[in-house]
Structure 1
């Protein structure tokens, strides 16, 4: 099974998701999204596949989100472009399989797409 994880090694939830996959004998493609940031189209596709809006995938409590005045009234385009420019705004970890896409919070959500 092909699995991709958009990973932040400094995030405990992201590390837990990676460990979960490895514990299930899955070696995912690891995308360090802080340095290899997905483009607007990729993010839009991931969120659409999850059935969520960009705002729902926004780390709205991050200082940068507040500085940019990003909130539920912001357009999808505005949020997506902010995420590309400031990838720390993307909720993580995002796990992708052929069966679906989840934000793995809690880690057990990965089971839904395996």
Structure 2
């Protein structure tokens, strides 16, 4: 089953869902702002994305700039920041089995399902 970390207020996230609908892909929506992922869940997502925690951070978010920017942080501390403030998590994320992508680019989404 495909899982999508989705923010309904995000245009890229809505476009991602539209792509999946048009491609007749079945998926489950994870509204990560309402159902905050745990440390273990984020660690699993990062493993599937093959990214470091800092690469999943929305570094232009006000919360990041005011509270974390320019601080030396461990990976664990960055993950905890995302748990504490899920708005910091880049979106949308598509997870399919043991693979995942940050699905902001239609070409990337199409390649993921090719």
Provide the TM-score with structure 2 as the length reference. Answer: 0.91
Deviations 1:70-106 (A, max 9, x none): 4583211111111011100000000000251000020
Contact 1:53 1:76 in 2 (8 A): yes
Q: Which residue matches 2:94?
A: 95
Q: Aligned partners of 2:110, 2:82: CA distance in 1, in Å?
A: 27
Quickly say closer, same or farther: Cα 1:98–1:67, change in 2 above 3 A: same
**What is the number of residues matched between the two proteins?**
113
Q: Aligned partners of 2:43, 2:98: CA distance in 1, in Å?
A: 17
Structure 1 residue runs of 4 or more that deviate by more than 3 Å after TM superposition: 70-73
Q: Aligned partners of 1:72, 1:93: CA distance in 2, in Å?
A: 26
The structural deviation recorded for 1:11 is 0.1
Contact 1:13 1:107 in 2 (8 A): no
Contact 2:90 2:102 in 1 (8 A): yes
Structure 2: which 5+ residue stretches go unaligned?
Answer: none
Corresponding position: 1:67 with 2:66: yes
Question: In angstroms, what is the RMSD of aligned CA positions?
Answer: 1.5
